[in-house]
Amino acid sequence: MPTRFKRSSKAALMVMVPATTLMLASCSSEEPVQTAVYETAEQCAGFYNPEQCKADFAAATALHPQVAPKYSDKTSCEVDFGAGNCETPATAAAAAPATTNTTSSGSSFMPMMMGFMAGQMFSGGGRSNLQAQPLYKSGDDRSTFRTATNQPVSRFTGPVKVMPSRMVPKPGAAVNRGGFGAQAQKRSEQQSSGG
């Protein structure tokens, strides 16, 4: 036997084996928290306290122009959220009950609010660490309700458990996407971009 090999001592694959689903282990000790997803305050009122539903819906609607991702043109927004699902902050304000002035420019586009996630409804007297917020649906997945930061919440309306740390609303950034890749398209879609 040679004393020194010129090849790797082992060659294992963890990810590339299709049958294996690799779950990235979460390191946090966070507990999931109960909440609910509805499309409208009325839908929510069928199951919970109507006043609380209205309050949470109003809070979510007020947050909507602040947290929704912003696009400089309608087409870019519709690429992510689907045709007909984008609006300007002005349109959102006109449709919303008693929203205060938006901070976004009138010329930007954002996805329409598709529903809301309850905040205080489940706090059971104490303060919940969940904030009522608007939910959206992406163009290529019309079932999943997602937060403005693209966190999936639920594929159905009704009660759901979520991790509070992933549900923190943030001001909606003006995001552009897809600015790499044109040269490869131009030179050939099937050819490898490598050498």
Partner 1 sequence: MKKIQIEERPGWRNYAESVGFNFHTFDGEAYWDETAYYQFSLAQVEDDLEAPTEELHQMAISLVSEILADEQKLTQLAVPEPYWDWIKQSYDSAQPHLYGRLDLAYDGTGPAKLLELNYDTPTSLYESGFFQWVWLEDQILRGKLPANADQFNSLQDQLEHRFANLQLAEPFYFSSVSNNIEDKGTVLYLLDIAQQAGIDARFLGLDEIGEIDGQLVDTENFPIQTMFKLYPWEFMVREDFGRHLLTSKTQWLEPAWKMLLSNKGILPLLWQKYPNHPNLLPAFFETAATQPLTAGWVRKPLYSREGANIELVDSEGQRLQVAGPYDDAPFIRQAFHALPKFDQSYTLIGSWVVGDSAAGICIREDNSLITKDSSRFSPHIILD
Which residue ranges make up the site for partner 1 (CB under 8 A)? 1-2, 5-19, 22, 24, 69, 149-151, 173-184, 186-195
Structure tokens at 90: 């002005």
Nearest approach, Cβ of residue 130 and partner 1 (Å): 19
In the complex with partner 1, the residue whose CB is nearer, 127 or 187, is 187
CA–CA gap between residue 177 and residue 180 (Å, rounded): 8
Nearest approach, Cβ of residue 20 and partner 1 (Å): 10
In the complex with partner 1, the residue whose CB is nearer, 8 or 21, is 8
CA angle 162, 29, 38 (to 5 degrees): 5
Nearest approach, Cβ of residue 38 and partner 1 (Å): 24
Nearest approach, Cβ of residue 11 and partner 1 (Å): 5
Within 13 Å, how many C-alpha atoms sit on residue 10's CB side?
3
User: 64: which residues sit within 8 A by CB, 6+ positions away?
Assistant: 92, 96, 110, 113, 134
CA 54 to chain centre: 22
In the complex with partner 1, the residue whose CB is nearer, 15 or 98, is 15
In the complex with partner 1, the residue whose CB is nearer, 90 or 175, is 175
Radius of gyration of the chain (CA): 22
In the complex with partner 1, the residue whose CB is nearer, 126 or 194, is 194
CA–CA gap between residue 41 and residue 163 (Å, rounded): 23
Nearest approach, Cβ of residue 7 and partner 1 (Å): 4
Structure tokens at 31: 């507990």
